[in-house]
């Protein structure tokens, strides 16, 4: 029972980390589009830390989730369609993640540029 609760808690935090990664990436895109010049340093640093920390937890929590998938999450009622659906979902999420992290990296690079280069 303890193992099941820990797996469920991991799954919750994994999903939360995905949400934080998406939100920080979205805000980074918005800052790049709306704020001319250098972004506020505290904002860029916070978004960067949230995004990279979330990515680490997504990967770690995802590994745990994968390890226990058959025991706690597999739905026999979904049949053979479950695995292809999960693959498709992850392809989309990886694409969104890459685009988001590009925005976070661009935001940090903009912060480091000299004022006359903006």
Domain spans of the chain? 2-117
Tell me how crowded residue 24 is: count the other CB atoms within 10 A of its CB. 25
* DSSP run (H or E) holding 32: helix 2-34
How many CA atoms are closer than 13 Å to the CA of 89, on its beta-carbon side?
Answer: 7
pLDDT for the residue numbered 90 = 92
CA 103 to chain centre: 13
Tell me how crowded residue 104 is: count the other CB atoms within 10 A of its CB. 25
Q: Which of 116, 118, 99, 110 is CA-nearest to residue 43?
A: 110
Tens place of pLDDT per residue across the chain (118 aa): 899 999 999 999 999 999 999 999 999 999 999 988 888 999 999 999 999 999 999 999 999 999 998 888 877 877 778 888 889 999 999 999 999 999 999 999 998 877 655 5
Q: How far apart are CA 66 and CA 76, in angstroms?
A: 16
Q: How far apart are CA 108 and CA 117, in angstroms?
A: 14
If you write DSSP's letter for every residue of 81-114 in order, what string do you get?
Answer: GHHHHHHHHHHHHHHHHHHHHHHHHHHHHHHHS-
pLDDT for the residue numbered 37 = 83
């Amino acid at each position: 029972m303890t193992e099941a609760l820990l797996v469920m808690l991991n799954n919750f935090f994994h999903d939360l980390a995905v949400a934080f990664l998406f939100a920080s990436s979205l805000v980074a895109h918005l800052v790049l589009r709306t704020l001319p010049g250098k972004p506020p340093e505290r904002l860029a640093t916070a978004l960067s830390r949230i995004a990279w920390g979330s990515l680490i937890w997504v990967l770690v929590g995802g590994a745990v989730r994968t390890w226990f998938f058959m025991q706690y999450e597999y739905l026999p009622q979904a049949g053979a369609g479950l695995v292809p659906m999960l693959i498709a979902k992850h392809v989309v999420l990886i694409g969104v993640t890459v685009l988001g992290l590009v925005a976070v990296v661009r935001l940090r690079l903009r912060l480091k540029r000299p004022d006359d280069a903006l």
